[in-house]
Amino acid sequence: MTMPANATSRPAKGRVAVTDSNIRKAAARLLTCKLVSTEMMYVQRTLGQTATQDQLDAQVLAVRSLPWSEIAEAD
């Protein structure tokens, strides 16, 4: 089954689950390298259970420019 020409592969305004799998997929699509586990946990902490795809994409891009002290949780 093929998608119509005007269809997109992701929902425009719908919410998606903020899971390891969805974060990995967003990082693979947007970045040239994978996120480390600490960065993935930060994205999950920041966004919560669900977010729009645009919010997820923005957070995945933003986590790479944050200082490590802000990303890592203190023990």
Asked if residue 55 is part of any domain, the answer here is yes
Instruction: Provide the pLDDT confidence category of residue 11 given band limits of 50, 70 and 90.
Output: very low
Asked if residue 8 is part of any domain, the answer here is no
Asked if residue 54 is part of any domain, the answer here is yes
Q: Are 23 and 60 in contact (CB under 8 A)?
A: yes
* R_g over Cα of the chain: 14
Asked if residue 56 is part of any domain, the answer here is yes
What does the alpha-carbon distance between residue 16 and residue 51 come to, in Å, rounded to a whole number? 6
Asked if residue 27 is part of any domain, the answer here is yes
Instruction: Provide the pLDDT confidence category of residue 5 given band limits of 50, 70 and 90.
Output: low
Please give the residue range of the domain that contains residue 56: 15-67
What does the alpha-carbon distance between residue 51 and residue 13 come to, in Å, rounded to a whole number? 10
CA dihedral 19, 23, 24, 29 (to 10 degrees): 140
**Which CATH number fits the domain that encloses residue 39?**
1.10.238
Overall domain count for the chain: 1
Higher-confidence position of 6 and 25 = 25
